[in-house]
A = this chain, B = another copy of it.
């Protein structure tokens, strides 16, 4: 620790739920933070879009607020960006770095779209870029992957990184209700936005998957590289089918290195709903909680669990980064920057090795199972289990006969996703198959 007691100046961009919590803690907890850093931390300004809004409930000095973000970033040692979105956040971050400020951000969308530009600007300016809050809120996950596991080789990261979708899927599992009505309930309870697209279509999780994969595999991965399926097509019957398998449906962000499992050398980065066994640690993650499961060569299996969103939890992650960066101001040095030497190819979804759970409605007559099995064999997909249930429907016509059909449930072994998808198409075209009632990937076994 040096004897210089000049305050370290922090500028805050944005004063929503997260920004408000950050500002309150920076000011309310100033003495503790100063003791931890070795120098005082001073909040010098908060850039907001609308100056006139009543923010008195935050208990902050009104003189802190400004609409001049461009000016504010030039008079800070550390700029905290919690505006979100691509612009104007990107321009302000770059401007802050040009003026010698380190940056702490929670902006997953920007990092996943244009992280390399931000890293390059941080390198050029010799400043820090920290963003623990961008993935899984309060859960320390980026620092563990980027630093704690820096001497290990990560093979797999599987995360529940979006609280809204986990809340919806968990509620569907608990109540048996459908997607639409559950989203409405989540909106009423404040777990889903009025426009839930970014969450339920998987855009938010895909951005986080890109960030996790970049750090885990020392490779540049952007949102555009991430295969993405949301949860809007998950039905109550999918959830029931999962339950019958001893599984639960989760929206997973999956980052895998494929060199060790017989696939093409490279990485697979994808977001989609999947069934996982109820015995898997991720299955126990309820409501809006987040968790990230990491598999590494030497460390083995690790799991990180906690709150993935909310003002206070996200502020905790932001402030941890502020303290880390401020300590560098005191003792010199910088945190680790972008490490992208590995430059592994991001494989197309068709090459990813996955397993499918497929429910089929078929005619109940001899030979149907053989025809179905043949469709799998023709696509080189091997079947792990098949289960047949006969279903008898009363025909609605007066005097009509009762007809019977069967439900076939097939779980495959691992195969390239393209082969599995082609198998499903082929099954749908078979005359003996009335309907493909549910298709879902199976993970975590």
> Residues on A close to B: CB < 8 A?
1, 21, 25, 29, 32-33, 35-36, 132, 138-140, 143-144, 147-153, 218, 281, 284, 296-307, 310, 312-313, 315-324, 327-328, 331-334, 336-337, 339, 341-342
A337 to B1, CA, bound (A): 9
Given contacts A299-B313, A312-B300, A313-B298, contact A320 B152 (CB under 8 A): yes
16 contacts between A and B (CB under 8 A): A21-B298, A138-B296, A140-B140, A143-B144, A144-B144, A150-B323, A151-B318, A152-B320, A298-B312, A299-B307, A302-B306, A303-B303, A303-B305, A304-B305, A327-B336, A331-B334
Contacts of A301 in B (CB 8 A): 306-307
Contacts of A149 in B (CB 8 A): 140, 316, 320
A111 to B36, CA, bound (A): 20
Contacts of A333 in B (CB 8 A): 328, 331-334
Contact B148 A322 (CB under 8 A): no
Contact B147 A36 (CB under 8 A): no
Contact A36 B339 (CB under 8 A): yes
Contact B299 A153 (CB under 8 A): no
Contact A139 B331 (CB under 8 A): no
Contact A324 B140 (CB under 8 A): no
Our pick among B302, B307, B332, B337 for the contact of A305 (Cβ within 8 Å) is B302
Our pick among B25, B143, B304, B331 for the contact of A298 (Cβ within 8 Å) is B25
Contact B151 A144 (CB under 8 A): no
Interchain nearest-CB distance for A180 vs B (Å)? 30
Additional A-B contacts beyond A132-B148, A147-B320, A298-B313 (10; CB < 8 A): A35-B341, A138-B296, A143-B147, A147-B324, A148-B317, A148-B320, A296-B316, A299-B317, A300-B310, A328-B333
Contact A299 B303 (CB under 8 A): no
A341 to B33, CA, bound (A): 11
A313 to B151, CA, bound (A): 11
The 3 closest A-B pairs by CB, nearest first: A333-B333, A151-B319, A140-B148
Contact B138 A324 (CB under 8 A): no
Contact B21 A316 (CB under 8 A): no
Contacts of A138 in B (CB 8 A): 296, 298-300, 302
A341 to B140, CA, bound (A): 24
Q: Copy number in this complex?
A: 2
**Looking across the interface, which residue of chain B has its beta carbon closest to that of A142?**
B148
Residue picked from A36, A132, A148, A316, most chain B C-beta under 10 Å: A148
Interchain nearest-CB distance for A155 vs B (Å)? 12
A323 to B332, CA, bound (A): 18
A337 to B328, CA, bound (A): 12
A139 to B293, CA, bound (A): 12
Contact A33 B151 (CB under 8 A): yes
**Looking across the interface, which residue of chain B has its beta carbon closest to that of A305?**
B303
Interchain nearest-CB distance for A129 vs B (Å)? 14
Interchain nearest-CB distance for A303 vs B (Å)? 4
Given contacts A29-B153, A151-B318, contact A307 B303 (CB under 8 A): no
A94 to B297, CA, bound (A): 32
Contacts of A312 in B (CB 8 A): 297-300
Contact B298 A319 (CB under 8 A): yes
A186 to B93, CA, bound (A): 55
Interchain nearest-CB distance for A251 vs B (Å)? 20
Given contacts A300-B307, A301-B306, A306-B301, contact A316 B25 (CB under 8 A): no
Contact A300 B313 (CB under 8 A): yes
Given contacts A140-B144, A151-B25, A333-B334, contact A306 B317 (CB under 8 A): no
Contacts of A331 in B (CB 8 A): 333-334
Our pick among B33, B147, B315, B342 for the contact of A35 (Cβ within 8 Å) is B342
A25 to B299, CA, bound (A): 12
Interchain nearest-CB distance for A5 vs B (Å)? 14
Given contacts A35-B218, A144-B144, A296-B316, contact A302 B139 (CB under 8 A): yes
